Amino acid sequence: MQKLWLIISREYGSRVRKRSFILTTILTPLGFLLLFSISIFASMSAVSKEKTIWVADEANLLNQADGALSSSANLNLIPAPKVGIDSLQRLLAKAEDSPIDALLHIPKTSVQNRENLSNLLTIQLALYGREPLSASTQSILRQRLSRRLIKERRKLLGINLKDLERAELKGSDLHFNQLNVAGEEETAASAQVYLASFLGGGMMMLIYMVILIYGNMVMRSVMEEKTSRIVEIVISSVKPFQLMLGKIIGVGAVGLTQFLIWGLTIPTLQLILSLFVALPAASSSPLPSGSGLDEDQMLMIMDNLEGFSQFNYSYLMSCFLAFFLLGYTLYASIFAAIGAAMGDDWGEGQSLTIIVTIPVVAAMLIGLQAIENPHGSLVEYASYVPFFAPVIMPARLAFDPPLWQLGLSLGILFLSAIAMIWLSGRIYRIGILLYGKQPSVKQFFYWMFKF
Amino acid sequence: MDSSLLKLEGVYKQYAGHTAVNDLSFELSRGQIFGLLGPNGAGKSSLIRMICAITKADKGQIFFDGKLVGPKTQRKIGYMPEERGLYKKMRVSEQIMYLARLKGLSKKEAKKRMTAWLQRFDIEDWKKKRIEELSKGMQQKIQFIVTVIHEPELLILDEPFSGLDPLNSQIIREEIYRLKEEGSTILFSTHRMEQVEQICEQILLINKGEKLFLGKVAEVKERFKKNEFLIQTQGPAANDFAHTFELLDQGEDWLKVRLQETQTSAELFAAVVDAGLPIRRFEEVLPSLQEIFIEMVQE
């Protein structure tokens, strides 16, 4: 046990202290931070400078509505000073001397009569600033105006506003009542299905990446020991199986560490960043400025957030972790055996990795199916194939697969992982001492099953 | 206490249809330097791996200090393989500590011994260097330290001098003698037979996995000597006296002569003196291990 522990801590320690590990571990969250900030600043830069706009509202479109003239973080709407209703020229001249960016003139004719509703409506926007208004500022203005205009038009057409509101549908008002074959109600709401795909897809991708990245790391580590010939010295002190196991556990722990660090830092950085960005904005407006969201979209988001809280996260996480660990073990031991079996020629040996890549990629393809149709028969049967299960089952997890299916899949995977470690151990202990030519497939089987 | 440290009984090992070690038995007593000799592919490395419990014998048994070899006996053996290897990216001190602790030393003990060894080789300054930054000779010293740091009862050195420069070669040779003085038993394996003639007390000659000869170097030489004598003279070597002896070869100032079974070296010496030849050197020509080996294989 003590030797195994020594091997694990060497594998772990030497990797964690590697410059490449430290760099990727630090740079990845920073990269996320950068991406996140770029996307925020890109959207903010469009409305970054506060624009002050005078509103000469002859039609009383904005003035009379509550809040329509309120200012948000980057847009400052002020009623133009009264200089006499008819003297737009004088107002323009006065505006020229004032520190404003634009003058919005809403002519009296904007609120039309029934007959000319379809006419093009032009609203004059006189610019005094150096730059034209950005697209997002324009869109805010347009939204406010159009909302008011629609209201006016409804009035004009005699549509009862109360009735209209009652007739409208909000995002959450439409509910599909899905019945399965047995006539029982399937409870998943559309938003939740969407979220489940999102969660499942994420977990599947993560395991897919872990298997390939860290499996490869195990393989390289085995090859390194073999080609540098240190392995013969090490196994004159420990059993080859111990060495292999220590390697798999050590590298796996490195992977877990990295994910833990990312899992903690990325959301934290995101939170800090969003606080910085959101605080000033939130003080003036409940909606992120310039996001262009209308009420319905907001409701949809609220719905989604509600949907997120409907998952049983501790259950999801523990299932995910089980598949993560078993899947990694299964594949890492195959990678270890391949590393041991390779000849001294790295390039030649690399072709052997196809043995592993094919099932992982196949699992990924079926997993994509699983997100579309989590209870399909292909997906279900593939969940029992140990090489596919670690990728496919996490994709299905958020869709609440039947417990017995989950158990069966996990059970088969568990037994296969144990068997694979054992078989790989047999290839490993012979392979690492064999220099020169790459062994044939026939020899592999001989090593695995010869007693 | 049994004086034999290592005992092999009918050991047999096969790899993919080829027999590496065939029914080999021998005993190795404590405190000696033992040579395991044979050409490349004779089965030396296979044999050593079984002694180190790295691989298992297909048939037969290997006892170390009266116990079957296994994980427990591994701690008492120090093995330096022919193909040297260290973790290239690891620092010298980490490397030594890791391998020493795998041999069962406590952290404290490993550290103490490492410091002592680094001082002995005068390479303390190299502690923090990575192996890949060291010269070949320096790496060899580290390799030697990790082999002996746990003070093994049996030290197995596979081609210990291959790739060593004369200076390092001498240092390692001295260390081997010192370890022997301190009670270690040393098993040398090499195909360069001239190297061990002076060092080894006992040798085992193997070929194609089979035992050719086991015994003292002097014994085998005695057995294979051909009664040949070399006479070196001052000035030209006349061969007038040689008609009663068989003259094998002759140079400007030397003669090589073979005695018949009935003749003695005293008779030859007397004949040379009688012939009035000024003798610089008179010696029996003993075959080298290499020649003996070739002769054995041909037999």
Chain B within 8 Å of A446 (Cβ-Cβ)? yes
- Average pLDDT score over chain B: 87
Q: Write the Ramachandran bin of A292: left for phi over 0, alpha for psi from -120 to 50, otherwise beta.
A: left
- Name the DSSP letter for residue A66: T
Cβ B144 vs Cβ B31: under 8 Å: no
Nearest-angstrom CA–CA distance, B76 and B81? 16
Q: What is the pLDDT of residue A39?
A: 74
SS3 B285: strand
Interchain contact, A232 vs B83, CB within 8 Å: yes
**What's the rounded mean pLDDT across residues A55-62?**
76
Closest CB to A236: pick one of B79, B84, B94: B79
Cβ A72 vs Cβ A285: under 8 Å: yes
Best residue in B87, B88, B102, B156 for a mutation probing chain A (most A CBs within 10 Å): B102
Q: Write the Ramachandran bin of A288: left for phi over 0, alpha for psi from -120 to 50, otherwise beta.
A: beta
Helices and strands of chain B, counted as H and E runs:
10, 14
| Lowest mean per-residue pLDDT among A149-163, A169-183, A306-320, B217-231 | A169-183
Q: What is the pLDDT of residue A43?
A: 65
Strand blocks (E) in chain B = 4-15, 18-29, 33-37, 59-64, 67-68, 77-80, 154-158, 185-190, 202-207, 210-216, 228-233, 246-250, 254-258, 279-285
Cβ A42 vs Cβ A281: under 8 Å: no
Nearest-angstrom CA–CA distance, B22 and B8? 12
Q: What is the pLDDT of residue B14?
A: 86
- Name the DSSP letter for residue B94: H
Strand blocks (E) in B81-227 = 154-158, 185-190, 202-207, 210-216
pLDDT band at B136 (very low <50, low <70, confident <90, very high): confident
pLDDT band at B286 (very low <50, low <70, confident <90, very high): confident
Scored b (16 or more CB within 10 A) or e, A265-277 reads bbeebeeeeeeeb
> Chain B: residue nearest A19 by CA?
B89
pLDDT band at A178 (very low <50, low <70, confident <90, very high): low
- Name the DSSP letter for residue A210: H
Contact list in A for residue B83 (CB cut-off 8 A) is 229, 232, 435
Chain B within 8 Å of A235 (Cβ-Cβ)? yes
Q: What is the pLDDT of residue B61?
A: 92
**What's the rounded mean pLDDT across residues A423-449?**
78
Q: Which helix (H) or strand (E) holds A332?
A: helix A313-341
Scored b (16 or more CB within 10 A) or e, A398-410 reads bbbbeeeebeebb
Residue A254 has pLDDT above 80, yes or no: yes
A180 CA: distance to closest CA in chain B (Å): 60
**What's the rounded mean pLDDT across residues A338-354?**
76
Residue B201 CB partners (closer than 8 Å, separation 6+): B32, B33, B34, B216, B217
| Residue numbers of B between 144 and 183 with CB closer than 8 Å to A | 146-147
Residue A219 CB partners (closer than 8 Å, separation 6+): A335, A336, A338, A339, A353
SS3 B262: coil
Report the top-level CATH class of A51-166: alpha beta
Per-residue tokens: B86 = 């260290």
Nearest to B62 by CA among B13, B97, B131: B13
- Report the share of chain B in percent with pLDDT over 70: 98
Interchain contact, A233 vs B146, CB within 8 Å: yes
- Overall size of chain A counted in residues: 451
Top mean pLDDT of A287-296, A379-388, B11-20 is at A379-388
Nearest to A393 by CA among A341, A321, A290: A321
Interchain contact, B52 vs A236, CB within 8 Å: yes
Nearest-angstrom CA–CA distance, A239 and B71? 8
pLDDT band at A69 (very low <50, low <70, confident <90, very high): low
Cβ B98 vs Cβ B90: under 8 Å: yes
Residue B100 CB partners (closer than 8 Å, separation 6+): B110, B113, B114, B146, B149, B150
Chain A within 8 Å of B17 (Cβ-Cβ)? no
Q: What is the pLDDT of residue A45?
A: 60
Nearest-angstrom CA–CA distance, A89 and A78? 18
Contact list in A for residue B49 (CB cut-off 8 A) is 232, 433
**What's the rounded mean pLDDT across residues B101-121?**
92
Q: What is the pLDDT of residue A285?
A: 41
Chain A within 8 Å of B96 (Cβ-Cβ)? no
- Report the share of chain A in percent with pLDDT over 70: 73
Look-up: residue for tokens 């040398």? B188
| A293/B146: higher pLDDT | B146
Top mean pLDDT of A141-150, A176-185, A201-210, A409-418 is at A409-418
Residue A274 has pLDDT above 80, yes or no: no
**CB-CB neighbours of A28 under 10 Å:** 15
Q: What is the pLDDT of residue B118?
A: 92
Nearest-angstrom CA–CA distance, B44 and B42? 6
pLDDT band at A282 (very low <50, low <70, confident <90, very high): very low
Nearest to A349 by CA among A248, A437, A426, A429: A437
B24 CA: distance to closest CA in chain A (Å): 21
Q: What is the pLDDT of residue A288?
A: 43
- Average pLDDT score over chain A: 78
**CB-CB neighbours of A2 under 10 Å:** 9
Nearest-angstrom CA–CA distance, A34 and A27? 10
Q: What is the pLDDT of residue A292?
A: 46
Nearest-angstrom CA–CA distance, A389 and B201? 63
Give me the phi and psi of A56, to 5 degrees please: -95, 95
Contact list in B for residue A15 (CB cut-off 8 A) is none
Contact list in B for residue A443 (CB cut-off 8 A) is 16
Interchain contact, A435 vs B71, CB within 8 Å: no
> Chain B: residue nearest A225 by CA?
B87
Residue B190 has pLDDT above 90, yes or no: no
Q: What is the pLDDT of residue A421?
A: 93
Q: What is the largest CA-CA distance in chain A?
A: 105
| B245/A451: higher pLDDT | B245
For residue B168, give the amino acid letter. Answer: N
Which residues share a beta bridge with B162?
none
- What ipTM does this complex have? 0.82
Provide the residue ranges of all domains of chain A, joining segments of one domain with +.
Answer: 51-166, 197-449
Q: What is the pLDDT of residue A302?
A: 55
Q: What is the pLDDT of residue B258?
A: 87
Residue A204 has pLDDT above 80, yes or no: yes
Contact list in A for residue B86 (CB cut-off 8 A) is 228, 230
Residue A410 has pLDDT above 90, yes or no: yes
Q: What is the pLDDT of residue A290?
A: 42
Closest CB to B79: pick one of A7, A228, A233: A233
B99 CA: distance to closest CA in chain A (Å): 7
Q: Which domains does chain B have, with CATH numbers?
A: 4-216 (3.40.50.300), 225-298 (3.30.70.1560)
**CB-CB neighbours of A79 under 10 Å:** 12
Contact list in B for residue A228 (CB cut-off 8 A) is 85-88
Residue A297 has pLDDT above 90, yes or no: no
Give per-residue pLDDT as tens, B249-259: 888 888 888 88
Per-residue tokens: B123 = 């390479």
Angle between helices B166-181 and B136-148 (to 10 degrees): 10
Q: What is the pLDDT of residue A182?
A: 63
Q: What is the pLDDT of residue A301?
A: 54
**What's the rounded mean pLDDT across residues B120-140?**
88
**CB-CB neighbours of B121 under 10 Å:** 16
Give per-residue pLDDT as tens, A206-219: 889 888 889 999 99
Chain B within 8 Å of A236 (Cβ-Cβ)? yes
| B269/A57: higher pLDDT | B269
- Name the DSSP letter for residue B55: S
Residue B173 has pLDDT above 90, yes or no: no
